[in-house]
Each structure stands twice: as C-alpha cells, then as structure tokens.
Chain A
Amino acid sequence: MEKKYWQSIEETRADYKPPAEEKESSMIEILANEANEKSSSRRDFLKWCGISFFSATVISACENPVKKAIPYLHQPETLVPGKAHWYASSFVDGNRFCSVLVKSRDGRPIKIEGNDLCKFTGGGTNAITQASVLSLYDDGARYKYPMKNGEKTSWERADQEIKDTLREAEENGKKCYLVTPTLLSQSTVELINNLQVKYPSLELITWDALDYNSIRKAHQQSFATAAIPDYRFDKADLIVSFSADFLGTWLSPVSFAHRYAQTRRVSEEKPHMSRHIHFEAGMSVTGSNADERIAVKPSTELDIIMELYNEMAAITGNQVISSPSAGYDTKALAEEILANKGKTLVVCGHDNLQAQILINAINHMAEAYGNTLDNRKTLNMGHGDKEAFAQMIKEMETGNTELVMFYKTNPVYNHPEAEHFKAALANVPLSISFATAKDETANMCTYILPDNHYLESWGEFMPVWGTHTFMQPAMHPIFNTRQFQSSLLAWAEMNTDYHTYIKQYAERVLFPKQNEYTDYQQFWVNSLQAGVLEIDEIMAINPVLQRQAISDAVVQLKRQTAQAAEVQFSVTENVKVSDGAYANNPWLQELPDPITKISWDNFAAVSPRFAQENNLYDGDIIRINGMDIPMIIQPGQAYNTISVALGYGRENAGKAGENVGVNAFRLINDKPFSWNVENWEKTGKKYEFARSQTHHSMEGRHIVRESILEKYQTNPKAGNEIRDYHLKHMVTLYPEKEYKGHHWALMVDLNACNGCSTCVIACQAENNTPVVGKQEVKNRRIMHWMRIDRYYTGDIDNPGVVHQPLMCQHCDHAPCENVCPVAATNHSHEGINQMAYNRCVGTKYCINNCPYKVRRFNWFRYAMNERFNFNMNSELGRMVLNPDVTVRERGVVEKCSFCIQRIQDGKLKAKNERRKLKDGEISPACAQACPSNALVFGDLNDPHSRVAKLIKDPRNYHLLEELHILPTVGYLTKIRNKKG
C-alpha cells in the first residue's frame, strides 16, 4: 500500500480544508489591464530606449576604471597569489571539537573543510564548524582592541593592573577565579597550573553552559573512574538513545554521525544495518532518524530507564529495585538488548547523574564496555563543574573575590539564574572577559581583553585520549587582539608566546610518547601539517560495576519523577546556535531548522493532540512559566510536552544575533524535577515564523522511496519497484546526449543522510550564497542552493521522518534549458546544467519550469546593500567570499553548479600533473562536508568510480523520473530497520 506522506499539520485534521487556490491571472490579462491603465506604455518604452541609447553612448566615451596590481615586496616562497593554501587546524570551543582543514586564498581563510586524517571525526564537519569562518570577519561584533570600562586601553597597562590585582589578592587573602569551559587543551591546563603556582589565590572553575559532567560523575560512581567512554556507534547493532541527540548536538556529533552512518548503510554486499530506538519528547535530528521513535515526557523517559534497568537486572539475575511503571513494553526492549549483548549501545542525553548511573548499569549488563563503548581511549570532554561554579557565585556575593575572569563562557546570558549571577558579578571589583566577540558577560566586565579567533590562534588539543590535534593560525590577527593563553603567559611572566610554548610542550610531553619520528623538528612539522597525532595513550575505565550506586540512584530518580507535573517542557540544543555562542552568525541563523524548517527563531513545539485540545495553531504565542514563546505544532512531539531550543534571545551579540527568539536558559531551574510546566497560557497574540518549507506534500508522487530491512533483504528493489515501470515507459523526442569525457553525477544515500544540514552551510560558504534575512525567508526567497526537504509519514503523533537533500538535479533533458529565451542556461559537455549569470536576463521561466524548484532568483542586490545588513554589507564580512565564484547581481537566476569551480580546479590539477583523475579527488562542498558521506560525487564515465557503481544499485532512483528529464543526481531508497 502506498504510504501517505503529509506535510502541514492542518492537513491531518478532520476539519482540514485545502487552501483555496489563488486565481492566477494570465499574462494576457495582465498585459491587457496594464494597457488600459497606462495607454502610453509603448511610447514610454520607446522613450526609455532613446534615453538608454544616448546614455550608453555617453557612458562609453568615459574611461575604464584603473585597476591596480600590487605585488609583494618580498613574496614568501610558498605563497602563490591566486592559489589556495590549506592549513590543518582544529575547531574547538569548549566541548565542541572538529579537526579541520582551512582553505586560505591570498592570505585570508575562506572555507573550512573536514580533516580526513583525523580518525576521531572521520573527515566530517557540522554546520557550526562550517560557519565558523564567517565569525572571523564579524567586524560588527568582534572586539577590536583591549578595553577597560568600554575605553580603549593598552595590553601593557591591563597586564600591569591584573598582575597587581593577582598579587594583592594573595596578600589580602582574597579569591581570584578563572572561569573556562571544558578545556580539551592539556597545554592550556598546564599553563593555568603554572599561573596558579605564581598566584596561589587563583582558582580555575570549569563550567559548561551545556553540561556533560553527569556522565563523567556517573562513571566515577559506577566504575570509580571519572571518565566518559567513547561511543562506538559503528560497532553497534542496536542503538538505544534516551534524548541523546548524538547526530546533531550531543558530545561529538561529527564523530558519532560518521560512525552511525557506517552501520546504517546497506548494500548488496552488506544487507544488514543497525537498529535505532529513540526515546525523546521533542523531535530531534537523531530522533528523526530512528527506526523506532517513542515520544515520551522527560519524566516517563526516566521511568523507562528505571524499568529497563529492572527488567534487564531481572533477566541477568541482578538486584531489582522497585520502580514505577512507565507504561512501555520495557521487557521486550530488555530482551532485545540482551539478545544483542556486546553489540548494543545505550546512550542518555539527560544531564542527570542518577539516570546516567542506571545507563552505565544497563550498558554493563549489555556488555557494551570494551565493545560498543571504548573504555580505553575515553573522551576528554564534559569537565564542567556546576557545584564549583555555584560556590564561586557565593564567594563573589560575600565580597571575598578580587578578580574573576571569563574565557569562552557567557554566564550572564546562559546561566539559568542570570539575575542572581549578575548581582554577584557586580560585587567583584575587577572582572575580565576574554570574549572574541560581543557577549553579555563581557558587557559587564571591567576589562575586555579580546582573544583571537580560532583561525588566528595556536593550540593543541586532546578531544579523546590518544588523539592530539593542533590548531594553527591561517591568518595574522585582524584586530589588536591577543590569544588567551598569551595573556596568561604574560601574567605568569614567562616571557614567551603561546606558539613557542606549545612547541616546547609538544617536545616535552608529546614527542617522547610517539615512536614514529626520531627528530623533533620533523615530528613537529609533520604533526602540524597533518593536524592530528595519534599516540598510544589511554585513560581506561575498568568495567567493574560498583553496585551500591544503583539502588541509591533509583531511589532518587523515583523521588524526582514523582514530582513531575502533567505538562513538561524540555530545552534542547540545536544544530545552529548551540548554547548561543554562534547566535551572531547569519549563515547559521538563516539555516532552516532540520526538523521544523524554521529559520531566524526558536519556538515552543507542542504535539498535535495538545494543540487540538487547547485550540492552538502555528504561531500562537504561549506563556510558559512566565515566558512568552511563539509555538508551532510538531508532529511526533510527546503529548503534554513543550520543547524549546536554547541559544536564542541574545541581548548583546551583534546585528544578526540580537533579539532573535527567546532565551530558554531562563526556563531551567534547580528544582528536584526541573522540567515542570507550572503554568502555561495562551496570550492571544500571533507570531509569524520564517519557514523555508511550508508546503511539503509529495502530492502522491514517489519522491521519497522507502522500505524496511526485511523486505530489502529479500528484494533489493523493495520500495523502488516503480522504477522498473518508469524505465519501461521511457520515450523521448530528444536525441540521447553523449558525454565524450566526464559525466558528473551525485548520488545521495537516504539511509546515510541524517538531515543535519551541514551541507547547506558548506554550500553557502563555497558559493557565496547571500543571507536574505527573516522577511525574505518569509517571502519564500531564501537563496540556499541546496536544501533538505523533510517529509513526515504515517501517524501524526509519531510519524516517520525522511530527510532528502535537494540540489540542482542536472537533468540531461533539463526542462529549464528549453525555456530560456537567451540560452543563459544550457548543458555542458560534462553533463552539468550550467548557468551563465552574465547572460541571464531574469525572465524566471527556468524557475517556473524546474520541477524540483532548485533555482533561485536574485530579487535584490544582496551585497553592499543596507537592506541586507549581514556579512556581505561590510568590507571585512566580504572577505569570506570565495574569489572563484561570482557574486551574483540583482535580477539573475542562480543555482547549484556541482561546485564547478572545484571541478575545474581538480581537472586542471590532473592535467598539469599529467595523470588521470582519481575518483573522489573532486568533491563538491556538500559532499566534502557531509559527516556521514551520504553524498557521493564522481564521474559516471569512469567505470571504477563509486557513482558508476551506485547508479546501478537496485536502490537507486531519480526524482520524478516519470518526466524523463534524466537527472544525474540519484537517490538510494531509504531502508528502515523496523519490525513488521
């Protein structure tokens, strides 16, 4: 039976009426009306012709502008103008880590790509990493020089005062604090320790706004080792997740997405895949990929964890502690987990110590440690210490604190009790912020000593034991900023810069631990060039369970869930702004949310049933615990829950980030059960969201094809049967196109794609796609060259979700090409549907005739235009533009080019090296960025290429192939590992 896919929520309601079709007036009518209104239109036309004829002649008599070419005085030997250089580096911000390559053109970094030498991240990236290059050029928000009370000051003067304060605090017995997020850099930790030796009054407080410390603490209690194991999703056959959005945001999503995709990919050689069961309240990226998704309230989730533990304990003969019934068949789940002993991985995203202790016990019973949980090379994340931070606030209040410093932390914004914290901060005589760009905490600090952007910094990091990565500057600091560590070195009076320091650190600490190189210099240069160094270094968890913690945990959890209210909320991190640190990045702000496709806002998601019962509609503003949030109806949202994304509502962030959405950190409280909605009400006000996808019905066509694993195993064409029918009925009037050389094609594996939207940002960064702003998104004029369509299927309360990346399909018989009156779009010799902007006159016929709606029209001039006051409206912001791609003018159509500049570059490289092109050598930005390798690009005429093989896969199909327009982009059927 045909699956019904539906899109808008209204569609599923009984009283749904399709919107009345707007009467479309024909072109003739419009012209006739116009002719009546303005009888002289033709004459006007002739007048204008005359004027433009004259002015053209006059203008042509003018001289051409003089362009200058300014060479180097001393050209560095390795630097070639007009050629890109790549530097291996690391994107690190607290717990967030990604090993990257930085593309630098003529001395300015323009693109971030994944470093495939890093085994931990597997060469992938995420949206935040991709967009991080834009923040480098954020001249509106970045601090440009050291400041004291808002006035410019010098580093020397600041250093002197701070050193004096540190010294005096020691003498007066007062406290000094340095607040940092989790530090993945061991050299920085060592450096801070050195500083503490010099100034014993200085205390290091590690505090993460989004904390993973409960996992670390739970392991301390369960296994007597404070560590976080590495989650090997690639080794798991059964993945059970409790609200852990490991593909989008949780811990190290890039690594996990890479590993997860490996178990999700099916082929005729490997016809099996992992099974993913997901419990959560709101729909997350990870939840949308699950085979079984169970939408439950946060309190029920905790109950299920307890019950699951008990069921498993009962089967394995362990201690059973009575717990409330959760109303879910946990017995079956327990049996399934135990049937997959050693191949199961259970993860929990709740920052709840007791729940994590039970998860440890469950994983222990499932024999995950040593198998799907790497207990030797453990993660170095989640060192945040809320208790220490709370203690610090107390000390600040008593007036016993002389100095407090904030590095990459913004508690004034994202501490749940910000007002309390602000009062305490005002009580401290000297406060310092190392913020790179505007933030709320820096605004309240005495000193702002701006840190370099990470692309201007040196660094050494250890995200996971045994893997060290390096950070190297791809550019000289743009402003008068100084790296945080250099500031510390100055105060420690160590008379060295951080670059020298980490070189010495590497020589002292890392060099002896490896045995590949005998020469230090060679070791350093090669490691820095690779960006990553693997050494045999472990921090092991001995999987011997300490059982006493469990009963205590159950007792406490029971107490917590007993206080749960009927309606609960959950706050979630999203793939865009995370804890708010990236709120001023217009690329990320405009990126449609992977699930709701809302850009430029956060929202309160409620379930359809809840909405119907309370007569709520999309855009109604509701008041939750005293906070006004506009709501949307989210299919798959657990009944009686409200989900809100964190990271919005910044007050001091810059032009793109301020006053966007509401600050959900304020919802968090420290009650025993913190997710209760004590009161909520309708305000009666309405709000309009900017959504990039509003009509999503497939209108009965087979746009997404899917099947289940069982069927696939018996018939690899399962779900794709219709393709045979279409192939049989293919008739054409056009001659078949012949591609003598390359024939470029892109294959999208819907099983590997998790909808994380990294590719969308990568495409934007590569192709100079403008940011258009909220109003223009509302006007359906978003400019992204590729989008990810999301469709829901089945039950509205618990739908299946499919993500479908959609870019130009580069049809061999492209409908857009036939209708262009000026032949601005036509077909290349290599199968690319090309677009010549300088020929386009903007009739938009092609947009009209494109069945995939992937073409975009430049309604405005987006660069250097006050109306679009984003990165392209500032001199510095435009530095991020890729010089190999035209910045399109107003009035032309644009679309995906398969990153033709990369193809041309790759071909040229092979030609100049006089060799054949290698498969995989050329990769468009989207495919390169994908952490799951869901997109594969290559040459169909090369029989050994991956795409040439994938296109013959029985799962392969093309979108709307019944039109016989022969797209070169192919999709592989989505297979779910579902029962029945």
Chain B
Amino acid sequence: MKKTIPKPRNGYLKKQLFLPLILLCLMGIIAIFSLGSFTQNEEIQNPDTILEPDQLENAGIDYPEDGIEPDQEEVETDPVESEFIRGEYTSQQIRRGERLFKGLVPFTSGQHDCASCHYTQPQKEINWNPAAYEMAVLWSRNPDYSIMEIMNNPVSMRLMEDHAGMTITLEEQHLLEAYFSKLTEQGPGELKAYPIRAFIFWGLGVLMFLALVDLIITRKIKFKGVHVFILFVGIAVHGQFAVVEAQNLGRTKGYAPDQPIKFSHLIHSGENDIDCRYCHYIADYSLSAGIPSNNVCLNCHNVIREGTLSGRFEINKIHNALETGEAIEWIKVHNLPDHSFFSHAQHVNAGKVDCAECHGQVETMHILQQVEDLSMGWCLTCHREQNVDFFDNPYFEIYERLHEKIRNGEIDAVTAADLGGEDCMSCHY
C-alpha cells in the first residue's frame, strides 16, 4: 500500500490543492446542513401542490415587504358584493383574504390574527383549534356556511369567548372565503421530517471516499493518521447507522400521526376514566381491538356536544360523518407486518394482559403514540416472562405434564413460552 505506486507528484500543486480540497468538502457538508435547515423552514410552502400560473405570479404574497404588491392592491378599488361569486374568485381577492387571515392587514374591527389560532400548515404540537384547511373544507361543502355567524354563534361558549369583540364585515367574509377556496384546493399540507441522519451519512461517505482516494492515489496528505481517523470514524458511524436503521426498518416506535379528529385519549380515558373496552369492546373476542364506530361515540356525544379544549368543531365531525355517510379515516398507529398474526382476544381475554403493557399510558396522551417498538424480540420477552392463567382455566388441563411438574415443585409457574409461545407458528402462518 505504501510505495506501490511510485508516481512522482508535483509538490507545489500538492500543497496548493489538498488542504483547500478538504476544506471545501467540509464546507460542503456544512452547507448541506444549513441548506437542510433552511429548506426545513421553507417546507411550510406546500410542496405537493402544483401552482397555477396566476398563483406562481403571486407566490411572494407571504412577505409584506414585497414592494410591488401593495401598488397593485391600490388599483383594486372597493369591491361591491356582486363581485364575489362563489368559486370564481380573482387572485387579488384570494390574496387579500389570505392577508386578512394571517393578520397582515387589519380588519375593520381591529387587528385579529386568525392564523395565530387556526394554523394554516400542519404543526408538530397539537393545536386544539380547527385548522384553516378544515374550516375551508366545511365551508366548501356547505353553501350556507357563514363565517360571521359561526364566529359568534351563541350555541358554543368556546366560540363566543374566543371571538369576543371580533366582528367582520360582509366584504371581509367574502375575502376570507376567497382564501378558503384556495386552501381547499391546496389540501392540508404535510409535515415533513428532515432527514438529518441521511446527510451525516452521505457527508461522511464523501469524506471517506476522498480520504481513500488520497490514501491510495493522490497522496496529498502525508500524515496517514488523518485518513485512518476519517475512515475509522466513518466506518464506525456508518456501521452504527446501518445497525440502528436496519433494526428500525418497518418499526415505528414513537409514531404519533395527526388524526382526522383531534381525539384525546387523555380526556376520555384519563380525565373521564372511561374503560378501554367500553369503546374497544371487540378486543375481547376478535383479532382486532376495533376502532369504535360512530354510533359508539354517540353514546356520549349525543349529549356532550362541546369539548373543553376543542369546542364543538371536533365533536361535530362525528355528527357530520353520520349525516354525510362518509366514514372517518383514522390513521392506524400500531401496525404489525402482514406475516404476524396478533389476536387481541388471545392476549386481552385469554391472556389477561393489561392494555397498557403494549399501548403504554394511553390515558396520559392527547395524541396517541406508539410506545413500544412492537418488535419480535419485544413480543418474545413477554412470552418468556409472563405467567399464564394456568390453574384456573380448564383448557390447560391437557397439559398434564406441566401440572405434574408444578405439583412436584419443579416449577412454580408456567409462561406462554412453556406452552409453545415461542413457536414460529404461534404468530406466523
């Protein structure tokens, strides 16, 4: 490796190039990182929507410092009501609605920033107020939807309190509607995680490549320790990544997706102390624990129409679904691969396993999160450690040999693994 390629090199060039090269590549990595965090902020712009030419033209509307825009606005003079035709809003109307909503221009009754409560883009933290998009969808489906009326609807205490002192004019309502029309077209938007780890991986990869090239071919850096260090660290980090990523492949520990209804297990199961199996009642005798159907929700929500945190907006979704006949599409949190057959009936009913052992302290979660990794190792640990209800259930009488062992004092309890809980075909068939 040392002197197998005795190609003479120009010393001047060497000195001139190798250090800047390393620097450049380090800079590159940093640049990638900073670019990454930059784009992370930029992600707010919905990347999925294909912008129409007129939208492109006004893509800069978010920035009030944009110099040209206000001039154009001046040109537009007081719109009369007949100018607003549902579904056919001009780009100016949409833009003005958006500014009103985002609090960039004041309402007649004062400065209200709708977007501070009704977020326009998905957020990491739970926000109990209805999102702008959700309101827009309601508006688009209901021709009688009036923002003015709903804002100060005396039926809902929450609404009244939160919107106290806010009044809007008819024109402003139309402008907001114009913005709603844009939102319904855009869709809810997506919250994208920024894969920092991938950049570390690739950055180190490039660095390792350069180190290798220099070590074998270019030989610019005399001190071999640098190469060795880079390669050593690179391989170690890559190895760690590979192991961790491979282990987590298909695993979603910590997964807590946004649900179509901001349903809080904390309020239902925690504060109100409703038993898990009141709603997930089929867990006792089916494979699945079952997502409760709307009529189960209605057992209580027929009467309870307003929540403490979310007001009426979220609860109304249950009623709306029943009226429109459109089912609520919940996001499945706990996913097992298709080749694993898990039966809730087996664990909850026969095995008497507490729900919390797998699902964690659900009563402390607003948004449901997966707390265990649901890996096979995790399953097997429990199968090996948990004792089975062996003595009381007559089913187990067939296990005479084990009963005998217990009588003889050879063992004092029977685990699932003793009964074949480690067999492949207990779960995979």
Contact = CB atoms under 8 A, between A and B. Distances in A.
Interface of A: 53, 56-61, 63-64, 66-75, 80-83, 738, 740-742, 824, 826, 828-830, 832, 834-839, 884-886, 897, 900-901, 904, 907-908, 910-912, 914-917, 939, 941-942
Given A69-B331, A897-B425, A911-B346, 12 more contacts: A57-B238, A61-B198, A68-B329, A68-B332, A73-B321, A740-B399, A742-B398, A830-B420, A886-B429, A911-B393, A912-B284, A916-B397
B322 A73 contact: yes
Contacts of A907: 395
Nearest to A939: B398
B228 interface: no
B267 interface: no
Nearest to B257: A66
Contacts of B294: 71-74
Interface in B301-332: 321-322, 325, 327-332
Given A836-B425, A941-B398, A53 B286 contact: no
A835 B331 CA distance: 32
Contacts of A59: 249
Contact of A73 (B295, B332, B395): B295
Contacts of B195: 61
Contact of B282 (A83, A830, A834, A884): A83
A907 B401 CA distance: 18
Interface string B186-210: 0000000101011001000000000
11 contacts: A71-B292, A80-B282, A80-B286, A741-B396, A829-B423, A834-B425, A885-B429, A897-B429, A901-B429, A915-B394, A915-B395
A116 B87 CA distance: 63
A186 to B, nearest CB: 40
B330 A71 contact: yes
B5 to A, nearest CB: 20
B241 A904 contact: no
A741 B293 contact: no
Contacts of A740: 399-402, 418-419
Contacts of B164: none
B345 interface: yes
A71 B285 contact: no
B250 interface: yes
A700 B290 CA distance: 57
B428 interface: yes
Contacts of A884: 341, 429
A9 B345 CA distance: 55
Nearest to A67: B332
Contact of B287 (A82, A911, A917): A82
Contacts of A834: 423-425, 429
A57 B245 contact: yes
B345 A917 contact: no
- Find the residue from B284, B325, B399 having the highest chain A CB count within 10 A: B399
Contacts of B337: 838
A908 B282 contact: no
Contacts of B252: 64
A772 to B, nearest CB: 21
A75 B321 CA distance: 14
- Find the residue from B195, B296, B397, B424 having the highest chain A CB count within 10 A: B424
B420 A829 contact: yes
- Find the residue from A53, A71, A839 having the highest chain B CB count within 10 A: A71
B40 interface: no
Interface in B234-250: 238, 241-242, 245-246, 248-250
A829 B414 CA distance: 14
Contact of A83 (B245, B286, B338, B401): B286
Contacts of B296: 75
B166 to A, nearest CB: 35
Contacts of B197: 61
B424 A828 contact: yes
* Shortest beta-carbon contacts, A-B, top 7: A829-B420, A75-B293, A60-B245, A82-B287, A834-B425, A911-B350, A836-B424
Contacts of B321: 73
Contacts of B291: 69-71
B301 to A, nearest CB: 14
B381 interface: no
Contacts of A58: 198
Contacts of B332: 66-69
Given A58-B198, A71-B291, A741-B420, A83 B285 contact: yes
Contact of B293 (A73, A828, A908, A939): A73
B127 interface: no
B90 interface: no
B34 interface: no
B108 interface: no
B350 to A, nearest CB: 4
Contacts of A66: 257, 331-332
A566 B423 CA distance: 64
Given A70-B327, A81-B288, A741 B398 contact: yes
A890 to B, nearest CB: 14
- Find the residue from B282, B293, B327 having the highest chain A CB count within 10 A: B293
B339 interface: yes
Contacts of B343: 904, 908
Nearest to B388: A911
A942 B392 CA distance: 20
Given A69-B331, A70-B330, A80-B282, A75 B428 contact: no
Given A63-B193, A68-B332, A70-B327, A828 B425 contact: yes
